[in-house]
Amino acid sequence: MRRPFIAGNWKMHLTKAESIDLAKALVDLAPSGASADVAVSPPFVYLDAVAAVVHGTSIGLAAQNLSEKPNGALTGEISAAMLRDLGCRYVIVGHSERRQFLGEIDSLVFEKANAALDAGMTPIVCVGETLEQRRAERTAEVIASQFGGSLAGMDADRIERVVIAYEPVWAIGTGVVATPQQAQDVHADLRKLLTSRYNAAIAGTVRIQYGGSVKPDNAVELLNQTDIDGALVGGASLNADSFWRIVTAAPKGHD
C-alpha cells in the first residue's frame, strides 16, 4: 500500500519568525502515527531554524531546490550534501516555476534528482503541462516527454526512491484546480509510463502527488482518486489549520 505524502511548499514567503511559528503550530497539530507522511519546505535561509522545530517529530524537512553539482565555485548554489547536513529528507526538483521562469530543462532535472538520491534524500520530481498545451490536447505528450527526460533514465532501484508530483501549470496559484478526474487521468498515465519503462510492481510502489491549488475543500475528492498518493501544497500550506485539514483528508493509502 502506498502511504500518502503531503508536502507544503512555502515558496518565497514568510519571515524567520513566521516560519518558526508555522512549524511550531504544525508540530502541535501533528499526532503520532499519522496516516500520511508530512513535510514542509521553507526557503533556504530558514531551513536550519525550521529544522530545529521539527527535529524528532513526524514532520519531515524538504528543500525547494538544489544544485546538480556536489560542490565547487558556484556562487549562490546549494549542494545536496549541505541540505542533508541540515536535516533535509526531501527536495523539490523541477518545479514548474523553475522550469517556466528559470529555464530548467528535463536533463537538468534528471541530474538534480540523481544528486538528491546520491545524498540519501528523496527527490520530489515535478511534471506538468501549461494551459496552452492542455488546450491543444497535448497533455499526455508533454507528460510523457517530461517523464522520459527527467526520470526514465534512472535504474529501477533508484526510481522506487522518487516521488513524482503532477502539477498542471495552469492550476498553480491561480485558484483553478484540475477536476479530480483530470488529475486522476494524468496520474494513471504516469503509472502506465512507469509500468512500461520498469514493471507493474515498481509502478505500484512509486508515489505520485497532485499539486495545483489544493485546498481543504477539494482535498478529500482529489486524494481519494486511485492513483493520487498525496499533494504538493502551495498557498494553503502557509496556514497551519488549512494545511493540516489537507493532511487529515488523505486516506490510509492506495494499493
- In this prediction, what percent of the chain has a pLDDT beyond 90? 90
Residue identified by cell 533508484 is 158
Residues annotated as catalytic (active site), given as ranges: 95, 167
Between strands 59-63 and 90-93, the pairing is parallel
- pLDDT band of residue 171 (cuts 50, 70, 90) is confident
The Cα–Cα gap between 16 and 252 comes to: 33
The Cα–Cα gap between 59 and 47 comes to: 13
CB 222, CB 180: distance < 8 Å: yes
Query: How high does pLDDT run on average in the chain?
Result: 95
Is the confidence at residue 216, as pLDDT, over 70?
yes
The string of pLDDT tens digits covering residues 133-151 is 999 999 999 999 999 999 9
Is the confidence at residue 33, as pLDDT, over 70?
no
Residue type, 18: E
- pLDDT band of residue 32 (cuts 50, 70, 90) is low
The Cα–Cα gap between 3 and 10 comes to: 23
CB 215, CB 209: distance < 8 Å: no
Q: What is the CATH number of domain 5-249?
A: 3.20.20.70
Q: Which residue has the higher pLDDT, 34 or 106?
A: 106
Q: Write the CA distances from 224 to 133, 172, 188, 253, integer angstroms.
A: 26, 20, 13, 9
The string of pLDDT tens digits covering residues 175-207 is 777 899 999 999 999 999 999 999 999 999 999
204: number of Cβ within 10 Å: 15
Whole-number pLDDT of residue 227: 98
Domain ranges of the chain: 5-249
- Write the burial class of residue 230 (CB in 10 Å: 0-12 exposed, 13-18 middle, 19+ buried): buried
Whole-model pTM: value is: 0.96
